[in-house]
């Protein structure tokens, strides 16, 4: 629950949503979120272990094909951060106004998501026709470092934007 400030407004707390089924940076997310005091929703299709922390919420969204993605996309919005390597989910969240970061630290944006979706679809077609048989490159320590830097910068940017926005008084 967000407390009202002295102007009578209730600022929305930034929440980090984690598409957790295959996320290699969950521990890093927990550490950064704890440092900034931000709540984290760890969303998976089924049970997933998370640390005992009042800021970390575990969501078992169900076994449906896109249940976890749908749960995140229905809730993420402006001022929130979504961590996912799922490009269609990233597209939905970017359109909703959320900041979206891949586990390798690559941010998704309105400007980049269309090309990223097109490239994903092309690679899927090439793999299904047997043209390409390899998958993505393995996750590296450099990817982890880039991710941490991008997450930190994104949180700080959102906090600066919120600090400079004029408050809207609630009646």
CA angle 88, 89, 92 (to 5 degrees): 90
Rounded to an integer, what is the distance from CA 161 to the centroid of its chain? 18
Quick check: 88 and 108 in contact, CB under 8 A? no
Domains, the chain, ordered by start: 16-108+141-163 (3.40.50)
Write down the pLDDT at residue 62.
86
pLDDT at 87: 87
Pairwise CA distance, residues 84 & 64, whole Å: 18
What is the residue whose two structure tokens read 């896109």?
A: 66
Query: Which whole-number Å values give the CA distances from 41 to 8, 105, 140, 141, in the listed order?
Result: 27, 19, 25, 25
According to the model, what pLDDT value does residue 133 have? 60
DSSP-assigned states of every residue in 97-129:
T-EEE-TTSPEE-HHHHHHHHHHHHHHHHHHHT
| Predicted pLDDT of residue 103 | 95
Residues of the chain with pLDDT under 70: 1-11, 113-127, 130-136, 166-171
pLDDT recorded at residue 7: 43
Identify any residues that bridge with 107 across adjacent strands, giving them in sequence order.
101
| pLDDT given at position 154 | 97
Q: What is the pLDDT of residue 1?
A: 39
Q: How far apart are CA 55 and CA 41, in angstroms?
A: 8
pLDDT in tens, 116-166: 666 655 666 666 776 666 666 788 899 999 999 999 999 999 999 988 876
């Amino acid at each position: 629950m967000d407390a009202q400030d002295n102007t009578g407004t209730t600022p929305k707390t930034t929440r980090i949503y984690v598409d957790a089924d295959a996320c290699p940076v969950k521990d890093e997310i927990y550490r950064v979120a704890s440092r900034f005091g931000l709540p984290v929703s760890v969303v998976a299709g089924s049970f997933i272990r998370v640390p005992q922390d009042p800021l970390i919420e575990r969501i078992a969204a169900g076994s449906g094909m896109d249940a976890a993605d749908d749960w995140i996309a229905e809730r993420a919005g402006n001022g929130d951060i979504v961590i996912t390597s799922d490009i269609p989910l990233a597209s939905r969240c970017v359109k909703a106004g959320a900041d979206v970061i891949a586990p390798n630290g690559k941010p998704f944006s309105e400007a980049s998501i269309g090309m990223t979706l097109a490239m994903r679809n092309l690679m899927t077609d090439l793999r299904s026709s047997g043209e390409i048989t390899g998958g993505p490159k393995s996750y590296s320590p450099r990817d982890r470092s880039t991710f941490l830097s991008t997450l930190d910068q994104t949180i700080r940017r959102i906090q600066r934007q919120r600090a400079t926005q004029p408050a809207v008084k609630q009646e």
